Amino acid sequence: MIELDNIGYNYGDGELLSNVSVELSPGSFHFLTGPSGAGKTTLLKLCYGALSPTSGRVRAFNMDVKGLGRDQMAMLRRRVGVVHQDCRFLDHLSVEENIALPLTVSGKDLSQEEGNLNELMNWVGLSERAHAKPPELSGGERQRAALARAVILSPEVVVADEPTGNVDWEMSQRLLQLLVELNRMGKTILVATHDLALIRAAKNQVQTRVLRISDRRLQLAGADL
């Protein structure tokens, strides 16, 4: 579904990633770990085309990402839902309007999507907060809203960057459960995290692979996790 083939990524005079190869197959669940500054966010951005590798090749849905035009890239990004680490929202819009924003941008008729939107709001437990503004939300509510926004277009791949980094353990378990449910629906999941307890909890629910960035390279983590 998404394949990184011997990619490298340089910034300025430094090399952040080198000779990285990985394949995210349909329905797989991957965790990405590594110390701060190792390149986790950069690798995620390479997966969904927000960055281009300095060397090597990225393929997504049987297409070479480097050769995609503007419209093709837009279609690619609709097939990959992204939960960003900073969870940015438009503060003048309600939670429901923020979640529905990808529908608006893609030209969907919101009146025809109302049922799906309500179902999604209920699924992430935000129905009662639909008309609240983003500054009124707790950290956990913001993360759930970000996840809902990422999957509103029914993407085939969901990429999440430290989705539990700013929430307590109970809320991190709730977010994990939502990701596990998405995976059981057939979605490919890639989660960048430093939380090894979260990874252990996931291993009790779903088959996962754990990847670790170390010394600019990507390794399959051992069973000690």
> Are 176 and 198 in contact, with CB atoms under 8 Å apart?
yes
In this predicted structure, what is the pLDDT of residue 32? 96
Highest mean pLDDT range out of 70-79, 133-142, 158-167?
133-142
Q: What is the pTM of this model?
A: 0.91
pLDDT digits (tens, 9 = 90+) for 1-44: 899 999 999 987 788 999 999 999 999 999 999 988 889 999 99
Q: Which fold has domain 1-79+155-225?
A: Rossmann fold (3.40.50)
| Predicted confidence band of residue 225 (pLDDT cuts 50, 70, 90) | very low
In this predicted structure, what is the pLDDT of residue 222? 58
Taking residues 185-208, what's their average pLDDT?
92
Neighbours of 171 (CB within 10 A): 17
Q: How do the domains of the chain map onto residue ranges?
A: 1-79+155-225, 90-154
In this predicted structure, what is the pLDDT of residue 56? 94
DSSP strands (E only) in the chain: 2-11, 14-24, 29-33, 55-60, 63-64, 80-83, 157-161, 188-192, 209-214, 217-220
| Closest C-alpha to 43, from 7, 86, 68, 87 | 7
**Three-point CA angle 146, 147, 148, nearest 5°:** 90
pLDDT digits (tens, 9 = 90+) for 44-96: 999 998 999 999 999 999 888 888 888 888 888 889 999 998 888 999 999 99
